[in-house]
Amino acid sequence: MRNIRLKHYQGRIITAVMLLVSSQFAAAGESKAYDELCNMAAAAGIPSAFTDWTPAQGASSRSKLPAEAYGAGMAGPAAAPDRAVAYTAAQAKRLSAMANEGLTLVKSINGGMDRQDQYHYSGVPSVVTRVSPAEVGVKRHWTSNAQYAGVPVVDLIVKSGLLKAGPRPYIIPESHRADYYSDLHGVFFTTPEFDPSQLWMGLGADSDYVDFVVDPGMGALYLAPGNYLFPCPQNTQTWIRDAYSKWKGTGVMPKGMEGIFAQIDSEGGLQDAIDVPITVVRYQKNGKVKVLRPDLLGKP
């Protein structure tokens, strides 16, 4: 491994592929990360838990919870907004400080003629800074018109008032390469003015979204123009969690899992999920906008 500093050139596309769960769902073009993880699972002799998610379906393996679990009555993260505020604030402070320490190239994968080359980094890009929710104003969360168990994800978010972290880190895509930043993960969001087509998710102006505000104490990070992150524990896939626990118990490292397990260790081991409580201001479903809180439009 080698320490490097990345210079973000003006004009470079630095929007994230926001592969989230009830957050931004994966689109058909996001098959590369999916393929890589499935290959790792096969190499490790672990049955893939991605069978309930394919890029073409636009669903996510994070959504193993029944639809009712998104309801306002659920226990755990939904009932603990103080935990989300404290965690995101601490992580935003820690991660923004890492932006001055440079990046470490952990691995690179040659995509050949037909796929993007992949570069995986630990550390935080120098452009990342800590921001307050008030600085951003009303925030937007795209759902890619995804559904779970036949229910539009936008409806689940509006009903629960929760955003959930997904299994992918921050990714900067270009036509020929994709840069993965393993320390940056959680719940991603944009500003309402941001052009969704830049997210590389097949989104358009009529795609489903939720506009929202949050507790003013919530910790957030600026990633790129119009792109932000509430840093939360990554939603580690079930098969990875099981393999990691088995490794800790036996000491036998599955083939191809060294990097994934090292990242989990660097963050203190497997972490419980932390959902982000939101107040929905308005949302779009099937191209139609409904305003729930006109009094909050234009406010943080």
Residue 283 has pLDDT above 90, yes or no: yes
Average pLDDT over residues 73-83: 52
Task: Supply the mean pLDDT for the chain.
Answer: 74
- Percent of all residues in the chain with a pLDDT value above 70, rounded to a whole number: 72
Residue 1 has pLDDT above 90, yes or no: no
Query: For residue 104, what pLDDT band results from cuts at 50, 70 and 90?
Result: very high
Which pTM value belongs to this model?
Answer: 0.70
Q: Render pLDDT for 166-201 as a digit per residue (tens, 0 to 9).
A: 878 899 888 788 999 989 999 999 999 998 888 877
Average pLDDT over residues 258-274: 78
Query: For residue 240, what pLDDT band results from cuts at 50, 70 and 90?
Result: confident
Residue 78 has pLDDT above 50, yes or no: no
- Residue holding tokens 């997904």? 166
Query: For residue 120, what pLDDT band results from cuts at 50, 70 and 90?
Result: very high
Which 3-state string (H, E, C) describes the chain?
Answer: CEEECCCCCCCCCCCCCCCCCCCCCCCHHHHHHHHHHHHHHHHCCCCCCHHHCCCCCCCCCCCCCCHHHHCCCCCHHHHCHHHHHHHHHHHHHHHHHHCCCCEEEEEEECCCCCCCEEEEEEECCCCCEEECHHHHCCEEEECCCCEECCEEHHHHHHHHCEECCCCCCEEEECCCEEEEECCCCEEEEECCCCCHHHHCCCCCCCCCEEEEECCCCCCEEEEECCEEEEECCCCCCHHHHHHHHHHHHHCCCCCCCHHHHHHHHHCCCCCCCCCEECEEEEEEECCEEEECCHHHCCCC
Check residue 79 and give its pLDDT. 41
Domain with 175, as residue range(s), is: 2-296
Residue 71 has pLDDT above 50, yes or no: no
Query: For residue 148, what pLDDT band results from cuts at 50, 70 and 90?
Result: confident
* pLDDT winner (highest mean) among 24-33, 34-43, 72-81, 158-167: 158-167
Residue 263 has pLDDT above 90, yes or no: no
Residue 63 has pLDDT above 50, yes or no: no
Check residue 241 and give its pLDDT. 82
Check residue 282 and give its pLDDT. 96
Average pLDDT over residues 244-249: 88
User: What is the total count of domains within the chain?
Assistant: 1
Higher-confidence residue of 227 and 3: namely 227
Check residue 299 and give its pLDDT. 62
Query: For residue 103, what pLDDT band results from cuts at 50, 70 and 90?
Result: very high
Average pLDDT over residues 152-174: 89
